[in-house]
Amino acid sequence: MVASQVRQLPVIWVKGKDPKEKESIEYILRNNKILISEFLKILDQMEAEELRAEREVVQYDNPNWQFKQADRNGGIRILNKVKQLFNFMES
C-alpha cells in the first residue's frame, strides 16, 4: 500500500504570516474537511449554473451577448481559482 502524501498548502494562505499564524491557519484548514467539502460543493453548483446559462439560446438574443459571455467566463475563472486554493485536500 502506498503511503498517502500530505499536499502542500498553497502559499497564498500563509504569505506574510508569522510562523505561529501559519501553523494556526494550516491546522484550521486541515481540520475543517466537512466545511471545506460543503463549500466546494457550493462552488461546483455555482459553476454549473453559469455553464447552464451559457448554453441557453435566448442568451444570444441580446446584442451585447459577448459582454455577458465574457463576464460569465470571468466568473467561472474566479470560481476555479478559489477551488484551487483547496487543492491540498485529499481527494
Nearest partner of 39 among 25, 24, 29, 52, judged by Cα: 29
3 CB-side CA count, 13 A: 2
What's the rounded Cα separation, in Å, for the pair 15 and 42?
Answer: 26
Quote the pLDDT of residue 1: 46
Tell me the mean pLDDT in the region 62-72: 88
Mean pLDDT of 61-79: 91
- The reported pLDDT for the residue numbered 2 is 53
Q: 33 vs 57, which has greater pLDDT?
A: 33
Measured between alpha carbons, how far is 48 from 68 in angstroms, rounded to an integer? 16
Between 70 and 55, the higher pLDDT residue? 70
- The whole-number pLDDT of residue 41 equals 97
**Across 31-54, average pLDDT:** 94
- Residue-by-residue DSSP string for 10-40: PGGGTTT--HHHHHHHHHHHHT-HHHHHHHH
